[in-house]
Amino acid sequence: MNRRRRIYEGKAKILYEGPEPGTLIQHFKDDATAFNKKKHDIIDGKGVLNNRISEFVFNHLNEMGIPTHFLRRLNMREQLIREVEIIPLEVVVRNVAAGSLSKRLGIEEGTQLPRSIIEFYYKNDELDDPMVTEEHITAFGWANPQEIDDIMALAIRVNDFLSGLFLGVGIRLVDFKIECGRLWEGDMMRIVVADEISPDSCRLWDIETEEKLDKDRFRRDLGGMLEAYQDVARRLGILNDNERPLNGGPRLVQ
């Protein structure tokens, strides 16, 4: 039984009240959803892997001075985070054409983009997260121009870090999504990276085989989703070959 107060339940995570004011506990579920919940399944162990992978990424971002909401992992499925005011945008960074970009603009999946592209989507399930521009974001007050600048700068830094991290373990970072929040410290506010960064929110392709190691395995009924997530965790040095958590670093591909 869980006696903690539940603050919010999303598709793949639950937020509980934290042990101290200004903190929350982020719990990773095994639910996999796609197409705005029209497709749903339980993938045993996915939450545990995403908790570990996201912990690994956020720890590195914090160490690099890229501000995030992450404090520390608490257990197999939970992490302690700072409470932030979530900005209702999904910030997508793309390096290679795939998914909705390929469909919308007729660019073949796998085409390297001339430069990284940032897109914004308004977080609203009823509307299926429509794509929006900076004009919409400022006109409707979701974020001001300075905040949009800060969000874009964060997104680019995260992209640079993640691209290098995954390249080092033989994975091509095709695209990913982040969410940002306002962290208040007294009267001061700064924008930080929030939510999670995991194979649920990134497109990750094996560099040699182009095999998909991300949520597209579920979206496209390819099977082997858990195995793919385990592969990502193992390559990053989070799981050893017996699938037991280790503290080692990423394993470099020669």
DSSP assignment of 39-68 = EEEE-TTHHHHHHHHHHHHHHHHHHTT--B
Kindly indicate which of the ranges 60-68, 72-80, 172-180, 226-234 contains the residues binding ligand UDP, using the contact rule CB under 6 A: 172-180
x-marked contacts with ligand UDP along 207-226 as a string, rule CB under 6 A = --------x-----------
A 10 A CB-CB count for 57 gives: 23
Q: Rule CB under 6 A: say whether 201 interacts with ligand UDP.
A: yes
How big is the site for ligand UDP, counted in residues (CB under 6 A)? 14
Q: Rule CB under 6 A: say whether 176 interacts with ligand UDP.
A: yes
| CA distance linking residue 214 with residue 235, whole number of Å | 14
| CA distance linking residue 36 with residue 225, whole number of Å | 19
Q: Rule CB under 6 A: say whether 177 interacts with ligand UDP.
A: yes
Q: Which residue is at the shortest CB distance from ligand UDP?
A: 99
Element (H, E) at 89: strand 89-96
Q: Mapping DSSP to helix (H, G, I), strand (E, B) and coil, where does residue 72 land?
A: strand
Q: Mapping DSSP to helix (H, G, I), strand (E, B) and coil, where does residue 215 land?
A: coil
12/233 with CB nearer ligand UDP: 12
**Residue 120 CB, nearest approach to ligand UDP (Å):** 11
Angle between the N-to-C axes of helices 46-63 and 225-235, in degrees from 0 to 180, rounded to the nearest 10: 30
Instruction: Please select the residue that binds ligand UDP; options are 143, 173, 180, 202, rule is CB under 6 A.
Output: 202
18/58 with CB nearer ligand UDP: 58
Choose among 96, 38, 13: nearest CA to 218.
38
Choose among 99, 89, 132, 96: nearest CA to 114.
96
Q: Mapping DSSP to helix (H, G, I), strand (E, B) and coil, where does residue 158 land?
A: helix
Q: Mapping DSSP to helix (H, G, I), strand (E, B) and coil, where does residue 90 land?
A: strand
**Residue 99 CB, nearest approach to ligand UDP (Å):** 2
Instruction: Please select the residue that binds ligand UDP; options are 90, 147, 150, 231, rule is CB under 6 A.
Output: 90
Q: Rule CB under 6 A: say whether 129 interacts with ligand UDP.
A: yes
**Residue 6 CB, nearest approach to ligand UDP (Å):** 22
Q: Rule CB under 6 A: say whether 67 interacts with ligand UDP.
A: no
| CA distance linking residue 155 with residue 51, whole number of Å | 21
**Residue 176 CB, nearest approach to ligand UDP (Å):** 5
41/243 with CB nearer ligand UDP: 41
101/228 with CB nearer ligand UDP: 101
Site residues (CB under 6 A) for ligand UDP?
A: 90, 92, 98-101, 129, 175-177, 201-203, 215
